[in-house]
Amino acid sequence: MTMSRSERPSIHDVARIAGVSAATVSKYLHGVKTIKSTNMKNIREAIDALGYRLDPLAGDLRRERRNILGLVVPDLENEFFGAIACRMELLAEAAGYSLSIASSHESEERELRLIQRMGDWRVAGTILAPVRSERGLGAKKMVELGMDGVLLDRVESSDTHCTVSVDNSGASASVCRTLGEIGHCHVLIIGPSDVSKSARARLNGFRNEAAQSFPDMNIGVLVLDADADIFREELALYLKVEKPTAVFSLFQKGTLIAITAFRRLGLRCPEDINLIGFDDAEWMQVTEPSVSVVVQPVARLAETAFKTLLKILDTPNGTVKLHLEECQLVLRGSVSLPKTHQGRFAIEVEPKLHI
Amino acid sequence: MTMSRSERPSIHDVARIAGVSAATVSKYLHGVKTIKSTNMKNIREAIDALGYRLDPLAGDLRRERRNILGLVVPDLENEFFGAIACRMELLAEAAGYSLSIASSHESEERELRLIQRMGDWRVAGTILAPVRSERGLGAKKMVELGMDGVLLDRVESSDTHCTVSVDNSGASASVCRTLGEIGHCHVLIIGPSDVSKSARARLNGFRNEAAQSFPDMNIGVLVLDADADIFREELALYLKVEKPTAVFSLFQKGTLIAITAFRRLGLRCPEDINLIGFDDAEWMQVTEPSVSVVVQPVARLAETAFKTLLKILDTPNGTVKLHLEECQLVLRGSVSLPKTHQGRFAIEVEPKLHI
DNA sequence: ATGAAAGCGCTAACAC
DNA sequence: GTGTTAGCGCTTTCAT
């Protein structure tokens, strides 16, 4: 009773031992119910005896559509995308797919190559969190190759893709309203160097809300375009000279830099200056003061993107659509809150530490 | 000039158009030099005309050994393993492999299933960062399935696998020496609930060094076994009652909790109490005070593990071996440093902020 | 309810 | 140098 010629038993080995054909074993393995029970028993026993396991790769080669999904994120070292990857992994698994995870290391050229590679693997669908936007190199390539997929997180609406993103603009408007209502008339916004869609949406969301609700608000903008240390000095200079009463950081790194800048200037927060950051992190609850932040709904983001992808795979002619997930503004020690406050977004004040 | 029957051109389409056989195209694609230059040209043109791309899956099915490597880590949300995954991705790519990344979500049962799955895919080799240790479910399964691979990061030496890890024990000894030389006689060590090999090595490394060099040092140990908030209260109670002069946290979360506990008790750091944490993070340079830490050499860890794996794939009978990578103790504000200090490990005092 | 046969796209042995 | 042939391990008609 020897195996074909390879190390590992194939479906034919199982078939031979069970006294049926490979086709029947294949059916058994795929849950086809119309199999004589004696055969089922024989097959089961043969599988156990051999320790047989289906080779997903071989199946995928034969199948019209492969059971593989691709995920491309800008950076796996980033906790946010790490969390996204974690969720996707579970979701893909639950849906019977393998997930191929890759990261573009914040390079659009690499993003392009990764999309190409996903295409090479003929993945059934791809979730792309682009480096830049829905019009970046990767998204274009997906169209060019006719690949199904959804765009995630640094995107606005697109007419070629379904996109899933956080409501950056709305969340920033909420931040603006919060600061405005407290009475801040001069806010400095600090943003990342890259011109990612989300950063721009955050900036514009704030500006538009200010223009509408607080026309007198003075808004400064500083962008980190070189070294972090240089940026910190620029920031310190601005704080010293212009004396804004609040800082809104559009990205985690900026939030960190702002705190260190405050400390070096001897600025007390929230007494001398207030701070709100976009995107939460564990350490932000531990700094002195703890940082008020816009919390992004990572899990919901992943789920929406995934469900949308499955829907696209089901119905290739689905409508192209933008999904927006709402954020939550969590106020902590870095903002001096007045007695009453109300905003369109959920606001949680000094929550229990979730470490 | 029609393609076989599939959407995408196959190697046969290229062959037909170029007027050669598929075998020749295959050779061309794999860099075989002995091809008539007119044929090379024709092949190149056919490939361009069709937009042909090699299907790695089909090739892998045929090949004796697949060009896929597996990476299993405990948690992708964890920056440390995110960084590991990032490096591995690049290394695998450079070596001509696809990398399949999966995370066990800190569950040994899941780890087992993931190893099984890597086996199903017949990956050429697997890098496993186990949930528990070199004797966990995943490592056992690898042996059972005869899978080649190396174990990474929560491991000591094993006689079934090559293992790559940080010198936890040595780094902790260095921490012990540092604290002892400063004059601390009562140190509280806080550890994670899980009984991971690294946590145990860190604890023992400290204890052994203390036993040898500072026999009078009083060492308390507190383990986080339930909720973080409960743990913080236990910690606060210990600090208040036992009054240790230094805390050594074996894990990031513990470091965070220690800082908040200090603040709530009104303990000034480093005046009233010193703190050293194992494993660095960006925010640790921003807290007040900044946290002294043992920095793990992530990049070197990944490289060593990867190189070791390649060596194993080359020479199946290589010697089983433990690779230890040295850590670096970085002293920041949370430790009150005396004038002179020397240790076996590199010590960097108050470095420039790298944000 | 089952099996024979064809083939997914590629590679490898070997003959020419 | 190049082509022929024979699969890799599986799925999928389609006939029985």
| A8 strand D contact, CB < 7 Å | yes
Report the distance separating Cα A224 and Cα A230, nearest Å.
9
Amino acid residing at A14: V
Predicted confidence (pLDDT) at residue A339 exceeds the cutoff of 90 = no
B157, exposed or middle or buried, with CB in 10 Å at 0-12, 13-18, 19+? middle
3-state secondary structure A295-352: ECCHHHHHHHHHHHHHHHHHCCCCCCCEEEECCEEEECCCCCCCCCCCCCCCEEECCC
Q: Are B327 and B171 in contact (CB under 8 A)?
A: yes
Question: Residue A227 has what pLDDT?
Answer: 82
Question: Does residue A20 reach within 7 angstroms of strand C, measured from its CB?
Answer: yes
Give CA–CA dist A327/A170, Å, rounded.
8
Q: Residue B195: its pLDDT value, please?
A: 66
Does B351 score more than 90 pLDDT? no
pLDDT at res. B4 = 38
The answer to whether the beta carbons of residues B152 and B309 sit under 8 Å apart is no
Q: Using CB atoms and an 8 Å cut-off, which of residues 145-184 of chain A contact chain B?
A: none
Residue nearest to nucleotide C9 (CA to C1'): B58
Give the SS3 label for residue A128: strand
Q: Among A57, A122, A257, whose Cβ lies nearest the Cβ of B61?
A: A57
Q: Is B67 on the interface with A (CB under 8 A)?
A: no
CA of A23 to C1' of C3 (A): 7
CA–CA separation, A99 and A326 (whole Å): 27
* Interchain CB contact of B355 with A (< 8 Å): yes
Structural tokens at position A147? 């690949």
Q: How far is the CA of B64 from the C1' of C3 (A)?
A: 29
For residue A59, with 0-12 CB atoms within 10 Å meaning exposed, 13-18 middle and 19 or more buried, which class applies? middle
List pLDDT tens digits, range A175-194.
999 999 999 999 999 999 87
The structure tokens listed for B234 are 């236990």
> Which of A8, A54, A355 is opposite residue B228, by nearest beta carbon?
A355
Rounded CA separation A70/A114 (Å)? 9
Q: Does A283 sit within 8 Å of B283, measured CB to CB?
A: yes
CB distance A115 to A145 below 8 Å: yes
The pLDDT of B277-281, averaged and rounded, is 95
- Across chain B, what does the average pLDDT equal? 91
B351 reaches A (C-beta below 8 A):
no
Question: How confident is residue A196, by pLDDT bands cut at 50, 70 and 90?
Answer: confident
- Nucleotides in D strand less than 7 A from protein CB: 1-5, 7-13
CA distance A260 to A263: 5
What are B62-105's pLDDT values in tens digits? 999 999 999 999 999 999 999 999 999 999 999 999 999 999 99
Rounded to whole angstroms, the Cα distance separating B313 from B95 reads 12
A347 contacts A331 by C-beta, under 8 angstroms: yes
pLDDT digits (tens, 9 = 90+) for A254-296: 998 999 899 889 999 999 999 999 999 988 887 778 899 999 9
Instruction: Check CB contact of A33 with chain B, cutoff 8 Å.
Output: no
Would the pLDDT of A18 be above 50?
Answer: yes
pLDDT tens per residue, range A53-65: 999 999 999 999 9
CA atoms within 13 A on the CB side of B348: 12
Q: What's the full length of chain A, in residues?
A: 355
Closest CA to B158 of B338, B327, B323: B323
Q: Regarding predicted confidence, which is higher, A13 or B229? A: A13
Q: Is A29 on the interface with B (CB under 8 A)?
A: no
Contact B122 A257 (CB under 8 A): no
Cα–Cα distance, B339 to A36 (Å, whole number): 83
What is the pLDDT confidence band of residue A195, given thresholds at 50, 70 and 90? low
